[in-house]
Amino acid sequence: MTEFLAELPKLDRAIDDATRIDVLRALEEVKAACAGVQARVTADLDASVRAERADRDVPVAQRGRGIANQVALARRDSPCRGGRHLGMATALVHEMPCTLALLERGVLSEWRATILVRETACLTREDRTELDYALCADPATLDGLGDQAVYAKVRAAAAEVDAEAVVRRARKAVSDRRVTSRPAPDTMAYVSALLPVAQGVAVHATLARDADSILAAGDERTRSQIMADLLVSRVTGAPHTATAPPITVNLVISDRALLDRGSEPAYAQGYGPVPAALAGHWINEAVKATIDPETGDEARVTLRRLYANPHSGALTATESQARCFPAGLARLIDLRDRTCRTPWCDAPIRHHDHIQPREHDGPTTAHNGAGLCAACNYAKQGAGWNAKPHQLPGGPHKIEIHTPTGHRYRSTAPPLPKPLPFREVQISSPMERILIEYLHAA
């Protein structure tokens, strides 16, 4: 496999366009075939680990712990996707052999195989295998169909095989309703709501109706802008411009960027990097708007000092009187780690973990603490998993993770913005005067 990977970039490129098309098709088939082999290897790993743990009389509920995380680390992917890879692999190998065969032959893409697995998950094993044969025994059945067409065909076939199971799945889906957010380009954010179809359509229709009314009254904003502002104002209770919702936003910015017009980006907790100029504008507006002239509400602006190594940017301390791990120390870990510290996992921090467990005399310190998502923390408790902090004096915080198969992975905390060297700074605004006086008070 390694030799094959090394030879791929050496393919002859002095070919005509017709051959280039043939090469593109062949490479696409190789990708699909590799996905099929990955599925078989993943299923073999799952069966082997479970059998070994059964021999050691590990409780049934714990035999699969951490397998998905090992798959994710091996594939340089998040634990969430590692779980999907594992679930898909076991379904293909044990319940959908025809789909797996088309995948290994390169006839079916990995994503379309995923659609087949996902949309048949509500069926019994026997019904799933029957549908698999009906759709994939003959490669011509799905040949030429796009993703949406495959999705529709599988859904229709599943409803024919077991309509009641499809109805149960739809009813259960209501319990999965949720609201999520993720970064978008240009310092924007996507806020998504997964709702039952009737509620989702009603929310959008209401926003659209009210936006049309406001637009008809001569508002200069576009229809989309009005809908977005209405959504924010109705959720937060802020004015329709929604410039200052009463929500805490943690913004980490260096004094160099804030006071000396540095260009190093700031970091908004839960979003990511923000241009220094934009972050400075937000802070300037917040400092000036101590009293809202329209509502009379007092703005709540808090400045907390963070102490970073001037060379590496490693977080060394934060301004806090608390010594309890769940409070001040937990806040320091959140600011240092930003997201889950497992490699390739960017899920929000949910647990503050002792890297060296407390039962093994692990201290409650920032050096021995790590921010993890719930899935990674639970996986770390499985047999054969261990970790240790690995940090040089003045350097960024590092963790070395050991998996049950003996593989090692390192995680390095992202650096803070570099602090401003100690020297006189020219004051050019009231905001800078307030901040400098605050910093000097330390």
Is the model more confident about 301 or about 116? 116
Structure confidence at residue 60 as a pLDDT band (50, 70, 90):
very high
Asked if 305 and 432 sit in the same domain, the reply is yes
Q: How far is CA 3 from CA 23, 243, 347, in A?
A: 19, 56, 35
* Assigned token pair, 150: 């495959």
Is the model more confident about 298 or about 44? 44
For every residue of 238-298, DSSP letters joined together read --TT-SS-S----EE--HHHHHS-----EEETTTEEE-HHHHHHHHHHHHH-SB-TTT-PB
Asked if 122 and 97 sit in the same domain, the reply is yes
User: Domains in the chain: how many in total?
Assistant: 4
192: β partners: 180
Distance of CA 259 to the CA centre of its chain: 33
Residue 35: pLDDT above 70?
A: yes
Is the model more confident about 323 or about 162? 162
Asked if 28 and 76 sit in the same domain, the reply is yes
Asked if 400 and 294 sit in the same domain, the reply is no
Task: Tell me the pairing of strands 306-308 and 315-318.
Answer: antiparallel
Asked if 260 and 366 sit in the same domain, the reply is no
**Chain segment 110-146, per-residue pLDDT in tens:** 999 999 999 999 899 999 999 999 999 999 999 888 8
Structure confidence at residue 346 as a pLDDT band (50, 70, 90):
confident
Asked if 394 and 358 sit in the same domain, the reply is yes
The residue-averaged pLDDT of 93-112 equals 95
- Is 118 domain-assigned? yes
* Assigned token pair, 247: 């929500």
pLDDT at 243: 45
- Is 395 domain-assigned? yes
**Do 405 and 417 touch, CB atoms closer than 8 A?**
no
Asked if 54 and 36 sit in the same domain, the reply is yes
The residue-averaged pLDDT of 16-22 equals 94
Residue 417: name the closest of 270, 301, 279 by CA.
279
Residue 52: pLDDT above 80?
A: yes
Q: What angle do CA 222, 224, 228 make, to 5 degrees?
A: 120
The residue-averaged pLDDT of 177-198 equals 85
- Is 139 domain-assigned? yes
Asked if 167 and 188 sit in the same domain, the reply is no
The residue-averaged pLDDT of 365-392 equals 86
Asked if 224 and 330 sit in the same domain, the reply is no
Q: In angstroms, rounded to a whole number, what is the distance separating the alpha carbons of residues 216 and 220?
A: 10
**Do 386 and 394 touch, CB atoms closer than 8 A?**
no
**Of the candidates 207, 236, 265, which is a domain's last residue?**
236
Query: Highest-confidence range of 20-29, 167-176, 189-198, 326-335, by mean pLDDT?
Result: 20-29
Residue 202: pLDDT above 80?
A: yes
**Of the candidates 124, 158, 174, which is a domain's last residue?**
174
**Percent of residues, the chain, with pLDDT higher than 90:** 41
Task: Give the chain's mean pLDDT.
Answer: 82
Q: In angstroms, rounded to a whole number, what is the distance separating the alpha carbons of residues 131 and 135?
A: 6
- Is 244 domain-assigned? no
Least confident of 165-169, 282-286, 409-413: 282-286
The parent domain of residue 271 ranges over 251-310+419-440
Residue 192: pLDDT above 80?
A: yes
Residue 73: name the closest of 385, 363, 326 by CA.
385
369: β partners: 354
H-run or E-run covering 111:
helix 110-119
Asked if 228 and 339 sit in the same domain, the reply is no
**Percent of residues, the chain, with pLDDT higher than 70:** 79
Q: What angle do CA 136, 33, 133 make, to 5 degrees?
A: 15
Q: In angstroms, rounded to a whole number, what is the distance separating the alpha carbons of residues 276 and 39?
A: 45
Is the model more confident about 95 or about 266? 95
- Is 79 domain-assigned? yes
Is the model more confident about 393 or about 378? 378
- Is 138 domain-assigned? yes
- Is 241 domain-assigned? no
Asked if 194 and 133 sit in the same domain, the reply is no
Asked if 344 and 396 sit in the same domain, the reply is yes
